[in-house]
Amino acid sequence: MSSQVTAVVVCHDTGDYLTQTLQALSHQTRPADRVILVNTSGIPLGHSFGSTQTLELDSKTTLPEALAAATQTLISSDTHWLWILHDDSAPEPQCLAVLLETLETTALVGAIAPKQVDPEQPRVIRQLGLTLTPLGEPLSIVSGELDQSQHDTMSDVMAVSTAGLLVRTDIYEQLGGLSPKAPPLAADYDLSLRVRLAGLRVMVAPAARIRHAQLSLEGKRSRTWLGGSPKTAVRKAAVHLRLAFSPLWFALIYWMLLPLVTVARTFWRLFQKRPDRIPAELLGGLWGFFTVAARLSARAGNSRGIRAIRKSFDAPWSTVRAAGRSQADLEQQQELQQAFARGEHELEAANVGKSFTADRGWLWAALLLALSYANFPTAVAVVSNSVSPLADNWWQVFLRAGSSWQPIGQGFAGPADPFNWALLALSSLTPWAPSLSVGVLLFVAPALAFSGAWRTATLITPKTWIRTAFGLGYALWPWFIQARNDASLPTVIAAVTLPWLVFTIARAAGLGRSGSARSMRQTWSWVGVSGLLFALVGVSSPVLAATALIALAVVALTRIKRFGYLLWIGLPFSALYTPLAFNLMLTTANPLALLTEPGVPTSAAVTDPSGLLLPVHPLDFMQYGYAVFGLVALFALLTKRWVLASVMWAFALLVVAIAVVHWQTLFANPGGLGDLEWVAGSPSTLLIALGLVLLGLVAIAAEYAKPSLRMFIGLVVMLAAVAPMALSAATAARNYNFADDRVVPWLLEADAQIGKNVKVLLLDARSGEYSAKVLPVSGLQLEDNSIAYRYSLAELNRSDPAYKSMADLVAALVSANDDTLAESLTESHIAYVLVPSAASEGAADLINSLDSLTELSSAGSTEFGRLWRVTAPVDEALAEDKSPWSTTKLVQLSILVGFILLAVPTNGSRSRKSKTAEIFIENDGDNS
């Protein structure tokens, strides 16, 4: 008995594809017995297509509804087949005939589908059956492969797409057609699995071919058709299949864990350098979590049957990996072709010079380490006016980063300094002794700066000597060496990071001689590194971050095609800085407060602006080598890159202008004593950035100069600039000491070690005023500095009752004439009183008072000042019920982890380089 076929063409977009499909349908060697065209485009077709019956439906009609409308009048039988075609799926002339031939020779077939090929490249297979990964993800068994008949032996599959699907009408009716509860891309899985559960086979007929444009999956249809973007639709399909076709217990657990699974998959996508898929992951996860009732109601109910089907047809991991590689290669091919079209392949052939190792860069780095011999750490911690030790364990540093509760003063609810994240990163280098990392950094800082600057120079020149001079000039830049010798940690971190930041942004933006990242994954990797480095620079020097943002904006505007990537570079910094920015705006209502430098406030002498460009030691003439760089940089304006040089000079002058304004800004520091009550903005980081720009100009001048002039520039730079600066750096005095990492006397440290939760009152007497600070017995470490607290002190002293009562206690101690003093001390959990500036003027009376108190007993002079112990027993304070975790911290940490994953090179992104040429060979093959 011959089969009867009714073809249903579901049309959602009218146009060429529909015409081609209908023409292809009419050219079948075995024509369909009846053709029904269902138009859901919302635009009436206006003309008839031969004997085709046309149904006009609303544009909101879904595929299941359209098919239901078309099959309403069909007579179901086991010899009557429904051939479902999409408007973008044109069957080749033999398609239906081959499908029916296959049916004649095969028993118990419920659904059969042809091989889907690319309409533009018919030799490329787009789909040949569907399956699931072991984790339940939808997977096209074959995709993007050249059709060399290698898959023509395939027959039974788990599922097939509805495009070109030939399904028996009786079983179709029995199963109720496509499930309206399933999301669009899961509906074909759903139908196929139910056909199989009904005891029939689902097959592919590789000899039957259909040219499927896959408009939906390529995002060429309106989003309403798939209920979102193609990626979101794929994810929704995966979630639906997991909930609908897994055992119930597993489905419920999966649903409960779906938020966590979504977060994990989000990070995984970052690691894959596919942040473009994150919205789909989030939307799909949320959709699945909140529509669980609909998913569960769509369950087939035959778990054992489903398990058996999956056991037979799930793709093995090898297939999953192969499919992943195939997909990645396909994407890479497309990206490389786009890069080729942009002409970026030419950079690969350009002379980019030797590598750092081949250039003997390590030799210069070692020389810089030798010049830093005086900075070699001889003890765990660095101690100076501008830096104090970190906590003695890494976890404590971690707790302070991003926290919203600070154990300073009377306890302070406010954002932690974003700089704490930089301290956390730094201390992670030596987690067993966090403070050691500071000393190590100060020692290796010039070498690190050299290697970073050397990398930056590769953007401009392939010549070894120019790169080396660039690197040495930066590593020996007077303000950088001074910051290192002053242990100005934020400045050093910003200075060491800055050249790397410039290099990575250039790579992400596709700027510079060393070429750009061509694949999306490589670009995202550079964006990840840039984001982290920008955050590091920004939290260390907000004023430099503001200046860098201007530069980044210029780069983004000139590389507008990369804007979508460059936009994300500022995200980690924004995440880290926004809480503090909000706090500062509320506290000070002054945007300049955002430029407050982190770390220990140090006084910077403010003189007239003419002193700005003089070194700290103006009589050290060896430091004036930087001026030679400035003079040589002018020659860059006479080279063929004069436009670039002009822009760089304009930026250099802008940097100086910002430095002047910052230098003239005085930031309140109510916790500071004497001269430190107002702290001037330090121009150091900006002057170091100026150095990088000037060195870039010098490199341009040297690179594009005539050979004879280039030699002259080389001699001048090395003899008149680098050599004197090296001599000056080698003989510069170190203004910090190495010590153990205690910040309190041993007596207190011992209490801290046993976890005693008591307080220390730090008392100072200056200029007729007494100032006091309450500390935990372990003292305050570097990570306890808080800009928010600094600006909140005025208000706290004015209105906080705890501060008022502490002031009363201090007055009682000073006057030594309060009968309730012991009570007040124990109530405040103060077990020690420390006068750090015992030798200062005005402290004598204070010490006399404290000495005269029977409530205190002198514990002698310590390296931290005069110490008294409270004689009465002091109860320990209850542990503060303040979680070190907060929403802010979680968000910040998530973004940082995300960017770290984005930055980490993956196999996929690393393998690109070696496969660069293969793409074009493949194309050649195709073209031939």
Residues of span 711-770 touching other proteins by CB under 8 A: 762, 768-770
Decide: is 823 part of the binding site for other proteins (CB under 8 A): no
Q: Over the Cα atoms of the chain, what is R_g?
A: 36
Chain centroid to Cα 516, Å, comes to 19
Instruction: Please choose, out of 276-284, 426-434, 584-592, 719-727, the segment that lies near other proteins by the rule CB under 8 A.
Output: 584-592
Minimum CB separation of residue 266 from other proteins in Å reads 39
Decide: is 772 part of the binding site for other proteins (CB under 8 A): yes
Instruction: Please choose, out of 533-541, 549-557, 725-733, 843-851, the segment that lies near other proteins by the rule CB under 8 A.
Output: 843-851
Site string for other proteins, 263-302 (x = CB under 8 A): ----------------------------------------
Decide: is 841 part of the binding site for other proteins (CB under 8 A): yes
With beta carbons less than 8 A apart as the criterion, state whether 574 and 595 touch: no
> Which residue in 145, 677, 749, 922 binds other proteins (CB under 8 A)?
677
Minimum CB separation of residue 581 from other proteins in Å reads 14
Decide: is 477 part of the binding site for other proteins (CB under 8 A): no
Decide: is 904 part of the binding site for other proteins (CB under 8 A): no
Q: Which amino acid type is present at position 428?
A: S
Minimum CB separation of residue 766 from other proteins in Å reads 10
What is the longest distance spanned by two Cα atoms in the chain?
118
Minimum CB separation of residue 397 from other proteins in Å reads 23
Tracing tokens 């966090």 back to the chain, one arrives at 434
- DSSP run (H or E) holding 160: none
Instruction: Please choose, out of 184-192, 857-865, 872-880, 907-915, the segment that lies near other proteins by the rule CB under 8 A.
Output: 857-865
Sign of torsion, CA 51 52 56 57? positive
Tracing tokens 């239901």 back to the chain, one arrives at 68
> Which residue in 474, 526, 626, 803 binds other proteins (CB under 8 A)?
803
Q: Which of residues 502-531 bind other proteins (CB under 8 A)?
A: none
Give the C-alpha separation, 329 to 348, whole Å: 20
792: tokens are 């909140």
> Which residue in 791, 832, 864, 899 binds other proteins (CB under 8 A)?
791
Give the C-alpha separation, 774 to 751, whole Å: 16
Tracing tokens 């999966």 back to the chain, one arrives at 254
Q: How many residues are given for the chain?
A: 928
Other beta carbons within 10 angstroms of residue 297's beta carbon come to 9
The candidate with the shortest Cα–Cα distance to 409, out of 845, 807, 742, is 807
Phi, psi of 405 (to 5 degrees): -135, 125
Select 100 or 793, whichever has its Cβ closest to other proteins.
793
Decide: is 827 part of the binding site for other proteins (CB under 8 A): no
Q: Which of residues 859-888 bind other proteins (CB under 8 A)?
A: 859-861, 866
Select 287 or 419, whichever has its Cβ closest to other proteins.
419
Alpha helices (H) along 717-831: 723-731, 746-753, 787-799, 801-815, 821-827
Q: Which of residues 340-399 bind other proteins (CB under 8 A)?
A: none
Decide: is 668 part of the binding site for other proteins (CB under 8 A): yes
> Which residue in 718, 847, 877, 904 binds other proteins (CB under 8 A)?
847
Site string for other proteins, 135-174 (x = CB under 8 A): ----------------------------------------
Decide: is 624 part of the binding site for other proteins (CB under 8 A): no
Select 93 or 836, whichever has its Cβ closest to other proteins.
836
DSSP state, residue 568: G
Other beta carbons within 10 angstroms of residue 855's beta carbon come to 22
235: tokens are 């994810």
Tracing tokens 């080749």 back to the chain, one arrives at 92
Tracing tokens 């030596």 back to the chain, one arrives at 430
Decide: is 599 part of the binding site for other proteins (CB under 8 A): no
> Which residue in 102, 420, 665, 785 binds other proteins (CB under 8 A)?
665
Select 369 or 637, whichever has its Cβ closest to other proteins.
637
In sequence order, the 6+-apart residues with CB closer than 8 A to the CB of 245 are 136, 189, 193, 299, 300, 306, 310
Decide: is 424 part of the binding site for other proteins (CB under 8 A): no
Select 449 or 632, whichever has its Cβ closest to other proteins.
632
Residues that bind other proteins (rule: CB under 8 A) add up to a total of 80
Decide: is 698 part of the binding site for other proteins (CB under 8 A): no
By three-state DSSP, how is residue 139 classified?
strand
Minimum CB separation of residue 592 from other proteins in Å reads 5
Tracing tokens 């990537």 back to the chain, one arrives at 565
Alpha helices (H) along 201-316: 223-226, 230-245, 248-271, 278-290, 292-297, 303-313
Instruction: Please choose, out of 138-146, 283-291, 560-568, 657-665, the segment that lies near other proteins by the rule CB under 8 A.
Output: 657-665
> Which residue in 294, 660, 872, 877 binds other proteins (CB under 8 A)?
660
DSSP state, residue 674: G
Decide: is 564 part of the binding site for other proteins (CB under 8 A): no
Select 287 or 635, whichever has its Cβ closest to other proteins.
635
With beta carbons less than 8 A apart as the criterion, state whether 842 and 768 touch: yes
Give the C-alpha separation, 262 to 236, whole Å: 12
Minimum CB separation of residue 598 from other proteins in Å reads 14
Instruction: Please choose, out of 21-29, 145-153, 365-373, 589-597, the segment that lies near other proteins by the rule CB under 8 A.
Output: 589-597
The candidate with the shortest Cα–Cα distance to 423, out of 781, 869, 854, is 781
595: tokens are 């430029």
Select 248 or 844, whichever has its Cβ closest to other proteins.
844
247: tokens are 């055992």
Decide: is 604 part of the binding site for other proteins (CB under 8 A): no
Decide: is 807 part of the binding site for other proteins (CB under 8 A): yes
> Which residue in 93, 180, 431, 609 binds other proteins (CB under 8 A)?
609
Instruction: Please choose, out of 174-182, 538-546, 620-628, 791-799, the segment that lies near other proteins by the rule CB under 8 A.
Output: 791-799
Other beta carbons within 10 angstroms of residue 853's beta carbon come to 21
The candidate with the shortest Cα–Cα distance to 482, out of 666, 691, 743, is 691
Degrees to nearest 5, angle at CA 723 with 718 and 726: 130
> Which residue in 344, 818, 876, 922 binds other proteins (CB under 8 A)?
818
The candidate with the shortest Cα–Cα distance to 595, out of 632, 549, 654, 532, is 549
> Which residue in 844, 890, 897, 917 binds other proteins (CB under 8 A)?
844
Decide: is 812 part of the binding site for other proteins (CB under 8 A): yes
Sign of torsion, CA 397 401 403 405? positive
CA dihedral 548, 553, 556, 558 (to 10 degrees): -110
Minimum CB separation of residue 752 from other proteins in Å reads 20
Instruction: Please choose, out of 63-71, 425-433, 804-812, 885-893, the segment that lies near other proteins by the rule CB under 8 A.
Output: 804-812
Decide: is 811 part of the binding site for other proteins (CB under 8 A): yes
* DSSP states along 171-225: HHHHHTSS-TTS-HHHHHHHHHHHHHHTT-EEEEEEEEEEEE--TTTTT-S-HHH
Instruction: Please choose, out of 185-193, 208-216, 726-734, 854-862, the segment that lies near other proteins by the rule CB under 8 A.
Output: 854-862
Select 130 or 806, whichever has its Cβ closest to other proteins.
806
Site string for other proteins, 628-647 (x = CB under 8 A): ------x--xxx--x--xx-
Decide: is 431 part of the binding site for other proteins (CB under 8 A): no
In sequence order, the 6+-apart residues with CB closer than 8 A to the CB of 395 are none
Give the C-alpha separation, 114 to 117, whole Å: 9
Select 490 or 499, whichever has its Cβ closest to other proteins.
490
Instruction: Please choose, out of 70-78, 423-431, 771-779, 880-888, the segment that lies near other proteins by the rule CB under 8 A.
Output: 771-779
Select 484 or 866, whichever has its Cβ closest to other proteins.
866
